[in-house]
């Protein structure tokens, strides 16, 4: 499957991967700060944005392979939430990735007896059930949940909705497949195999992937480091855009810090 990708800028390659139910248009506010320092490739995940819908139902393996085919080899992969999980899976699959930036990312999205810093299994199951009834409302509800806890939640939610308005709605099959990945994927036992330098960026007030999950993720990675953004919820790049861009560009190989 060939995914839609757009590239801008010059310098070290940076690939941006969005989260569940969204598309690459969410990165628009960051591009003016990023493109002077790196070449940015924004990719729509299967069944999202402008990517094809003929095979919108995807697995981790299929999505990772499709993203890797669209990404410049040797790039830094920045993934948000589900996109971050796919970035880790791609690194574990041996794709040509120089380093990782994992934003509001967790190795396990739902709770377990030994993993309390996550969404309750019943909450995610309720979203999956609601998806069958009204996928548009389910996406809207999920967006609102992502911004819960942010100091300016209403403003951020309006901005996120505005950014999403410029593209087609995601395919319901892709939405269902994405929820299945979030419900079942557990990367914890393989984190020690990730050899790429990794920057983990967490929101201090994130209710979906708590900052504690980011701390555990960074600690478990052989070359992980953690940045917690004060006052931010699940979208720290919207809450603290300047600090976010500065942190990412400073982490890139050979890039001049913003």
Catalytic residues: 81, 206, 234
Alpha helices in the chain (DSSP H): 31-34, 60-70, 82-92, 121-133, 135-147, 153-164, 172-184, 211-220, 236-239, 241-251
Q: Determine phi and psi for 6, rounding to 5 degrees.
A: -130, 140
Instruction: For CA atoms 71, 23, 16, 124, give the dihedral sign.
Output: negative
- Residue of 49, 50, 67 lying closest to 59 (CA atoms): 67
Q: Determine phi and psi for 202, rounding to 5 degrees.
A: -120, 150
Task: Answer for the pair 256, 249: CB distance below 8 angstroms, yes or no.
Answer: yes
Distances from the Cα of 191 to the Cα of 5, 138, 216, 235, angstroms: 28, 31, 11, 23
């Amino acid at each position: 499957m060939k995914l839609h990708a757009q590239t801008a800028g010059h310098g070290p390659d940076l690939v941006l991967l969005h989260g569940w139910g969204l598309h690459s248009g969410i990165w628009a506010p960051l591009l003016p700060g990023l493109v002077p320092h790196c070449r940015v490739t924004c990719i729509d995940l299967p069944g999202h944005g402008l990517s094809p819908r003929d095979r919108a139902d995807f697995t981790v393996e299929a999505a990772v392979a499709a993203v890797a085919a669209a990404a410049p080899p040797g790039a830094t992969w920045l993934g948000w939430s589900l996109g971050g999980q796919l970035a880790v899976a791609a690194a574990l699959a041996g794709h040509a990735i120089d380093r990782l930036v994992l934003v509001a990312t967790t190795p396990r999205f739902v709770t377990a007896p030994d993993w309390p810093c996550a969404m309750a299994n019943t909450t995610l199951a309720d979203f999956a059930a609601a998806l069958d009834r009204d996928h548009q409302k389910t996406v809207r509800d999920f967006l609102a949940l992502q911004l819960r806890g942010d100091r300016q939640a209403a403003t951020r939610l309006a901005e996120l909705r505005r950014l999403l308005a410029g593209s087609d709605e995601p395919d319901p099959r892709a939405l269902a497949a994405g929820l299945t990945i979030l419900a079942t994927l557990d990367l914890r036992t393989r984190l020690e195999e990730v050899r790429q330098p990794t920057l983990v960026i967490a929101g201090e007030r994130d209710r979906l992937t708590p900052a504690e999950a980011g701390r555990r993720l960074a600690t478990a990675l052989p070359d992980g480091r953690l940045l917690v953004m004060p006052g931010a919820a699940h979208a720290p790049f919207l809450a603290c855009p300047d600090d976010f861009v500065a942190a990412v560009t400073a982490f890139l190989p050979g890039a001049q810090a913003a």
